[in-house]
Structure 1
Amino acid sequence: MIGGEGVRSDYWDQPAFETIRPRRLVAPVVFNSPHSGRVYPERFLAMTRLDHLSIRQSEDAFVDELFARAPHLGAPLLRAHFPRAYLDVNREPWELDPTMFAEPLSDRFNTTSPRVAAGLGTLARVVAENKPIYRDRLSLDDARMRIEGIYHPYHAALQKLLSESVTSFGLAVLIDCHSMPRIGKHGERATPDIVLGDRYGTTCAGPLVDLVETVFTAAGLRVARNRPYAGGFCTRTYGRPPHGVHALQIEISRHLYMNEATLEKHEGFETIKTLIERLIHTLIGLDLASLAGAAPLAQRAAE
């Protein structure tokens, strides 16, 4: 994969992402893990001022492993191998911070979004705790290599999976799989373990969100909706219930399955993985007829 002018892809010798397909597609559910990549190119590591543990703080570590059973149960899984600190496909394609580049950015780039201001554009400026990633400024060719060579093919692969589901079943359900740092202080009763994002009821049928929430609450977990995570670029771009495509973002608190400081799995990992398998079973067994006729919450509220 070559992108940009004269900058060879950092993943020229290995896949930047992969689609894991089931032997037989049994349901219209597509699982997407865009932030769990942990293959750090040597060239990228040479560009960063951070140590290997610090650069990994933006990862949705092991989320792809939590959802790894999906293809075995009949639903595809798209997962990134590139890390989020390198490229974020849950952003607009050209959401770039002008302070990161040696050349000036033209008006065709989105340089003023809140995400760019926070240092978390398509190419992030910082990782967690606002730590700067790069030693020096980047070239625009580097951005083109990542966006044209990896970002666009990634979204083409995701769109293909959703289109195949619509063709086969008449609808598609995108589950965008993420993790989050623990919200609030340890022991706070209101701290959510899971956050479900459907862009305030606009990207997914209400009964489907209710179903997912029930799976988690039945396991004793605290579930919040849309606060503080309502769903990113993938959720709002692909979630079009009137056109038969539903999208729901799931954020799992990392403290449930790993040590957030060392990024090592702990004894809770297998428990959460088993729970996610139960969720996958539930989603694959959902009633397509009822979902096809269900309106999003926002639409129902307006009626």
Structure 2
Amino acid sequence: MDQSAADFQGFEVREPAAQTIPFVFNSPHSGNHFPVDFLASSCLDSLSIRRSADHYVDELFADAPELGAPLLVAHFPRAYLDVNREPYELDPRMFDGPLPPYVNIGSMRVAGGLGTIPRIVAENMDIYRKRLSVDEGLSRIETIYKPYHACLRKLIARTHARFGMGILIDCHSMPGNIRLSGSDVRPDFIIGDRYGTSASAELSRAALQFFDDMGFSAVRNKPYAGGFITEHYGRPVRGLHALQIEINRSLYVDEITLEKKAEFPLVAAALSTFMRQMAEFVGEFSDGADALAAE
């Protein structure tokens, strides 16, 4: 979907009628609203530029508000701005002038072309025809990245204040060809908790068990342990937990055409069941925050 800069709305919160569970769901990479000037600056066609998106993930988790939790949804595409990065992970080779001294130009993600403003999409395809202006890059961070994270922080803080705990589920998808190292196993789901630092082990084990009970293959942290969002917002000792969920795209989308498969409603229904089961699991703790933090 193409939009002029004036009409562009970066994100939205889909609120429940009343928040009844201590969860916040976040879909930061499923946006498909492309600013017209962004498309004009790209050397990619409309299909290629979507390759790195988490296709339809916001729709897969669409039942979250009905279950009593807010769902934060990015409308901007990941190729335009990646909020699952530090605010200033920027590649100086992408810009037509010097970057401010506080910019992180040396991260592994920048080196790989996947900084806050990505240089490439999947399969190492360059996004831009020419260098961006520094002002353009910093403007995206000021006008979209920072408000997005301010909104996410507010949702988490509100949840924590109301329930004494807050659980962020960061919702993503992964290519269908992802395998576990040294094996031919292609997991359906990967639960990331930054190797036990962003969430209680009890939550991670429960998430894995619920997927397993539904007949899916689910693993923990490999090869995706969680990105900036999971690491930044997960503070289990304070009752703040963050789990990243990666969904194998081949379960629900044709990875060539990017069209939904016939199985899409089944995957969405499974995720609705998963969200409900997670809420019920947390609700079983009479002292939810203390019990999970002590794990």
**Same fold judged by TM-score > 0.5?**
yes
Indicate the residue corresponding to 1:157 in structure 2.
Answer: 151
> Do structure 1's residue 99 and structure 2's residue 85 form an aligned pair?
no
> Do structure 1's residue 226 and structure 2's residue 233 form an aligned pair?
no
Q: Aligned in 2, Cα 1:10/1:115: closer, same or farther, shift over 3 Å?
A: farther
> Do structure 1's residue 241 and structure 2's residue 236 form an aligned pair?
yes
The 8 Å contact of residues 205 and 291 in structure 1, kept in 2 or not, is answered as no
Structure 1 residue 34: Cα displacement: 0.1
The 8 Å contact of residues 60 and 271 in structure 2, kept in 1 or not, is answered as yes
> Do structure 1's residue 282 and structure 2's residue 282 form an aligned pair?
no
Alpha-carbon separation, structure 1, partners of 2:190 and 2:205: 12
Indicate the residue corresponding to 1:265 in structure 2.
Answer: 260
Gaps of 5+ in 1: 1-8
Find the residue that maps to 2:7 and give its secondary structure: coil
Indicate the residue corresponding to 1:182 in structure 2.
Answer: 176
Indicate the residue corresponding to 1:65 in structure 2.
Answer: 59
Alpha-carbon separation, structure 2, partners of 1:184 and 1:229: 10
Structure 1 residue 12: Cα displacement: 2.8
Match 2:25 to one of 31, 34, 54: 31
Find the residue that maps to 1:18 and give its secondary structure: strand
- TM norm structure 1: 0.91
Structure 1 residue 254: Cα displacement: 0.0
Indicate the residue corresponding to 2:36 in structure 1.
Answer: 42
Render the CA deviation track for 1:141-173: whole Å, top value 9, x for unaligned: 111211000000000000000000011000100
Find the residue that maps to 2:147 and give its secondary structure: helix
Q: Which amino acid aligns with 1:264?
A: E
Indicate the residue corresponding to 1:129 in structure 2.
Answer: 123
Render the CA deviation track for 1:206-231: whole Å, top value 9, x for unaligned: 11111111111112111111111110
Match 1:251 to one of 227, 241, 246: 246
Map residues 79-98 of structure 1 onto 2, 5 A cutoff. 79-98=73-92
Alpha-carbon separation, structure 2, partners of 1:117 and 1:294: 40
Q: Aligned in 2, Cα 1:184/1:144: closer, same or farther, shift over 3 Å?
A: closer
Q: Which amino acid aligns with 2:259?
A: E
Q: Which amino acid aligns with 1:133?
A: I
Indicate the residue corresponding to 1:171 in structure 2.
Answer: 165
Q: Aligned in 2, Cα 1:252/1:108: closer, same or farther, shift over 3 Å?
A: same
Alpha-carbon separation, structure 2, partners of 1:52 and 1:220: 35
Indicate the residue corresponding to 1:75 in structure 2.
Answer: 69
Structure 1 residue 106: Cα displacement: 3.4
Structure 1 residue 284: Cα displacement: 2.3
Q: Which amino acid aligns with 2:206?
A: L
Indicate the residue corresponding to 1:203 in structure 2.
Answer: 198
The 8 Å contact of residues 75 and 284 in structure 1, kept in 2 or not, is answered as no
Render the CA deviation track for 1:76-98: whole Å, top value 9, x for unaligned: 00000000000000000000000
> Do structure 1's residue 113 and structure 2's residue 107 form an aligned pair?
yes
CA RMSD of aligned residues (A): 1.6
- TM norm structure 2: 0.94
The 8 Å contact of residues 217 and 223 in structure 1, kept in 2 or not, is answered as yes
Number of aligned residues: 288
The 8 Å contact of residues 49 and 135 in structure 1, kept in 2 or not, is answered as yes
Q: Which amino acid aligns with 2:115?
A: G
Alpha-carbon separation, structure 1, partners of 2:203 and 2:223: 20
Q: Which amino acid aligns with 2:35?
A: P
Structure 1 residue 107: Cα displacement: 2.5
Find the residue that maps to 2:47 and give its secondary structure: helix
Once the two structures are aligned, what percentage of the paired residues are identical? 51
Structure 1 residue 41: Cα displacement: 0.9
Structure 1 residue 294: Cα displacement: 3.8
Find the residue that maps to 1:249 and give its secondary structure: strand
Alpha-carbon separation, structure 1, partners of 2:54 and 2:185: 23
Indicate the residue corresponding to 2:290 in structure 1.
Answer: 293
